[in-house]
Amino acid sequence: MRFSNLLIPTLKEVPNDATLASHIYLLRGGFIQGVGSGLYNFLPLGKIVLDKVRSVVKEELDAVNAQEVSLGFVTPASMWRESGRFEKYGKELLRFKDRKDNDFVLGPTHEEMMVNLVKQTVKSYKQLPLNLYQINLKFRDEIRPRFGLMRGREFLMKDGYSFHVNEEDMRREFALMEETYKRIFTRLGLEFRVVEADSGAIGGSGSKEFMVLANSGEDTIVVCENCEYGANIEAAIRADVVCTDTAPDALFAKFNTPNIKTIDDLSEFFKVNPYYIVKTVVMRALYDEGKSEIVLFVLRGSDILEETKACNAVKANELVEVSQEELSEIGLVAGYMGAVELGVDIKIIADNSLKNATNMICGANVENYHFVGAGSEQMTASYHDISAVLEGDVCSCCGGRLTYTKGIEVGHIFQLGTRYSEPLKAEFLNENGKTQPFVMGTYGIGVSRLLAAIIEQHHDEKGCIWTKESSPFDIHIIVSNSKDENQTNYANSIYDELKYANISVLLDDRKERFGFKMKDCELIGIPNILIVGQKLDDGIVELKRRTEADGVEFKLDALLAEIKNRI
Ligand code: ATP
Ligand code: MG
């Protein structure tokens, strides 16, 4: 393509709200255009990249016999009511009515739709297994759309769903999808990690996320320095924590602790490790049909509450903060809350590490008082893993040291089981002539988010650096002096020659200064650059990689072979 024929509205200035490299460069490079919070248009260059990423995804899925379909974006609310997600999904689900007052939902994911498709078309075990996918728009009314394509409200997702006669076959497909996803992300030139994950609103058991490693990632991943263990912090586990400091040895008693409210203050006051202090976090858990309750989460003072784990422990849709007024209404005193002698009927969820705990210090639910010598015997709690793994904790697989790293979630695969097929009554006749619900898996890739993830991992201070399979073109030709007829003619002829050799080329044929064109070239980030300059008269041109500061000179007769070699 010729630059002069393409709409590439590059920008010099950093757009107002953009802070992340990918957001800035995708806007500045003329790949995308913002239309509203979390809403973007793809301009010609962006569409080319999107299609390239999409075709890598499609090629690899088709190669393992997944079949592409395309489902409606507007989905009847009745299906969502049947699966129970109309309520559960919360405010991310965009609901609306048509002129006949029927309820609809803009698809944020398509389990219900795909189960319905299969329910109507697959009747026998002989038609299984089946893996159907689509690469289509999704809409989620995200609470904080940000970072451009990273967290949009409207975005492109590859969502796949597999149907099986039993768990074993579903697990086989799950493993096949894991391998396929690895091939996709490797082809796209990404450094990533597959980690254990929480299953969230989609439900089911056993899920893995594909995390592109980048400091700007929104997800915290726990990794072991010694073994392969990796998990999203929402699902990470650790070996039991051992505290070598001695426990405060005291008989159970109420102790005056005037104005001593925080874990740090208590630790200082009693000269004890926070491990021996009970931390109490109070939250309101929200359930279906507008129901809610206040829950007391208790854990060791040395630990931090992991909200996703806490939310799962009470099977809530969401946890929200509780105001001071609400606290006082039920007789709780901030700074002095505790799960012992609570006096009100509130659900208490304790962290597993408090099972059989003794010699603890905890709030006495009275202003200016804490209990000493308290233990789990005095609490009526149910126990769950609700604390976050901390850096330096011990790996439960190998005893190694756990650390944090940041990741961008680009894929998520789930072992679903019958979570949707049962409520939606999607059944088939098995080998024995009995009806049975489909056993399912579901597999997502954030196709448009991948553009942002690639740039987060591959950019410099000048702009994008696309990877081989994601780049909008294989090579970018720049004519140094566009007034020089010799240079222009040569650029045109090599442009034709490269195209003939099936190499995709962007020829900057604009009558602009070299420096100006070079700036756009670096911003757009095609990995190979051919500079046709003064030395053309001596039969020499320059080939440069976008990642390198300096190019290498080549004789014209060796050029084509070298370009083919690089591409
Ligand atoms: P996140 O935790 O980032 O919100 P999720 O767990 O809600 O993601 P899934 O429901 O598993 O995401 O969706 C499948 C994939 O779609 C994700 O792995 C991610 O790459 C992509 N994705 C999800 N939400 C968005 C969004 N708002 N914008 C762009 N891509 C998204
Ligand atoms: Mg989400």
Q: pLDDT band for position 200 (50/70/90)?
A: low
Distance of alpha carbon 444 from alpha carbon 181, whole angstroms: 10
Q: How far is the CA of 270 from the centre of ligand 2 (A)?
A: 42
CA within 13 Å, CB half, 498: 28
Is the minimum distance from the CB of 151 to ligand 1 under 6 angstroms? yes
* 308-335 average pLDDT score: 92
Q: Which two tokens stand for residue 112?
A: 């219900």
- The 8-class DSSP code of residue 539 comes to T
Q: How far is the CA of 163 from the centre of ligand 2 (A)?
A: 24
Looking at the chain, the domain(s) classified CATH 3.40.50.800 span 475-566
Query: What strands lie across the sheet with 505-508, from one edge to the other?
Result: 505-508, 475-479, 528-532, 540-545, 552-555
* 300-326 average pLDDT score: 94
Three-state DSSP at 71 gives: coil
64: nearest Cα among 177, 157, 141? 177
Q: Which ligand is nearest to the CA of 156?
A: 1
Percent of the chain whose pLDDT exceeds 90:
91
Query: What Rg do the C-alpha atoms of the chain give, in angstroms?
Result: 29
For residue 344, the model assigns a pLDDT of 86
Q: Which two tokens stand for residue 565?
A: 């070699």
Looking at the chain, the domain(s) classified CATH 3.30.930.10 span 3-237+403-456
pLDDT at 202 over 70: no
Q: How far is the CA of 269 from the centre of ligand 2 (A)?
A: 42
CATH tag, 253-384: 3.90.960.10
For residue 201, the model assigns a pLDDT of 56
Instruction: List, as one string, the DSSP characters of 210-277.
Output: EEEE-TT-SEEEEEESSSS-EEETTT---PPP---SPPP---SEEEE-TT--SHHHHHHHHT--GGGB
For residue 228, the model assigns a pLDDT of 92
Distance of alpha carbon 416 from alpha carbon 426, whole angstroms: 14
Q: Which two tokens stand for residue 11?
A: 């920008």
For residue 436, the model assigns a pLDDT of 98
* 533-540 average pLDDT score: 96
- Among the ranges given (59-73, 200-214, 243-257, 453-467), the one the predictor scored with the smallest mean pLDDT: 200-214
Stated as kind and residue range, the H or E segment containing 83 is helix 77-83
Report the nearest atom of ligand 1 relative to the CA of 209: 18
Q: How far is the CA of 151 from the centre of ligand 2 (A)?
A: 8
Q: Which two tokens stand for residue 323?
A: 């105001």
Is the minimum distance from the CB of 142 to ligand 1 under 6 angstroms? yes
C-beta of residue 441 within 8 angstroms of C-beta of residue 176: no
Q: What is the 3-state secondary structure (H, E, C) of 435-474?
A: EEECEEEEEEEEHHHHHHHHHHHCEECCEECCCCCCCCCC
Distance of alpha carbon 128 from alpha carbon 441, whole angstroms: 13
pLDDT at 320 over 90: yes
Q: How far is the CA of 150 from the centre of ligand 1 (A)?
A: 9
Q: pLDDT band for position 88 (50/70/90)?
A: confident
Average pLDDT, the chain: 95
For residue 559, the model assigns a pLDDT of 94
Q: pLDDT band for position 343 (50/70/90)?
A: confident
* 113-142 average pLDDT score: 97
67: nearest Cα among 130, 154, 127? 130
For residue 22, the model assigns a pLDDT of 98
Alpha carbon separation from 149 to 18, 102, 514 (Å, rounded): 11, 32, 31
* 360-387 average pLDDT score: 94
Distance of alpha carbon 152 from alpha carbon 113, whole angstroms: 22
* 412-418 average pLDDT score: 94
Distance of alpha carbon 482 from alpha carbon 478, whole angstroms: 9
pTM of the model: 0.94
Looking at the chain, the domain(s) classified CATH 3.90.960.10 span 253-384
Distance of alpha carbon 371 from alpha carbon 548, whole angstroms: 65
Residue nearest to atom 26 of ligand 1 (CA): 151
pLDDT at 162 over 60: yes
Residue nearest to atom 19 of ligand 1 (CA): 446
* Long-range contacts, 558-561 (Cβ 8 Å, 24+): 559/494, 559/530, 560/494, 560/497, 560/498, 560/501
Q: State the first-to-last Cα distance of the chain, in angstroms, to the nearest integer.
A: 17
User: Tens of pLDDT along 298-311?
Assistant: 999 999 999 999 99
Is the minimum distance from the CB of 157 to ligand 1 under 6 angstroms? yes
pLDDT at 372 over 80: yes
For residue 203, the model assigns a pLDDT of 56
Distance of alpha carbon 182 from alpha carbon 188, whole angstroms: 10
Angle value at C-alpha 43, between 40 and 48, nearest 5 degrees? 115
89: nearest Cα among 310, 318, 283? 318
Q: pLDDT band for position 234 (50/70/90)?
A: very high
Distance of alpha carbon 332 from alpha carbon 339, whole angstroms: 11
Alpha carbon separation from 531 to 133, 465, 477, 495 (Å, rounded): 43, 17, 6, 12
CA within 13 Å, CB half, 468: 10
Distance of alpha carbon 378 from alpha carbon 360, whole angstroms: 11
From the candidate CATH numbers 3.40.50.800, 3.30.559.10, 3.30.1330.10, 1.10.1380.10, the one assigned to the domain spanning 475-566 = 3.40.50.800
pLDDT at 175 over 70: yes
- The residue behind tokens 């756990």 is 402
Distance of alpha carbon 251 from alpha carbon 245, whole angstroms: 19
Q: How far is the CA of 228 from the centre of ligand 1 (A)?
A: 24
The CATH class given to the 3-237+403-456 domain equals: alpha beta
Mutation probe of ligand 1 site: the residue of 150, 157, 413 with most atoms within 8 A of C-beta: 157
For residue 17, the model assigns a pLDDT of 86
Q: pLDDT band for position 289 (50/70/90)?
A: confident
C-beta of residue 137 within 8 angstroms of C-beta of residue 72: no
Is the minimum distance from the CB of 446 to ligand 1 under 6 angstroms? yes
Q: How far is the CA of 470 from the centre of ligand 1 (A)?
A: 20
Is the minimum distance from the CB of 192 to ligand 1 under 6 angstroms? no
Q: Which ligand is nearest to the CA of 109?
A: 1
For residue 400, the model assigns a pLDDT of 97
Three-state DSSP at 2 gives: strand
User: Tens of pLDDT along 433-484?
Assistant: 999 999 999 999 999 999 999 999 999 999 999 999 999 999 999 999 999 9
Distance of alpha carbon 4 from alpha carbon 509, whole angstroms: 6
Is the minimum distance from the CB of 201 to ligand 1 under 6 angstroms? no
φ, ψ dihedrals at 191, nearest 5°:
-95, 120
Alpha carbon separation from 72 to 65, 107, 108, 109, 311 (Å, rounded): 22, 8, 11, 11, 32
pLDDT at 90 over 90: no
- Within 10 angstroms of residue 289's Cβ, the number of other Cβ atoms is 5
Distance of alpha carbon 91 from alpha carbon 140, whole angstroms: 9
Distance of alpha carbon 547 from alpha carbon 554, whole angstroms: 18
* 112-136 average pLDDT score: 97
Strands 154-164 and 39-42, bridge-based pairing: unpaired
Is the minimum distance from the CB of 110 to ligand 1 under 6 angstroms? no
For residue 192, the model assigns a pLDDT of 97
Residues sharing a CB contact under 8 Å with residue 111, sequence separation 6 or more, in sequence order: 83, 161, 202, 416, 420, 442
Is the minimum distance from the CB of 444 to ligand 1 under 6 angstroms? yes
Q: pLDDT band for position 280 (50/70/90)?
A: very high
On the question of a cis peptide bond just before residue 108, with omega within 30 degrees of 0, the verdict is no
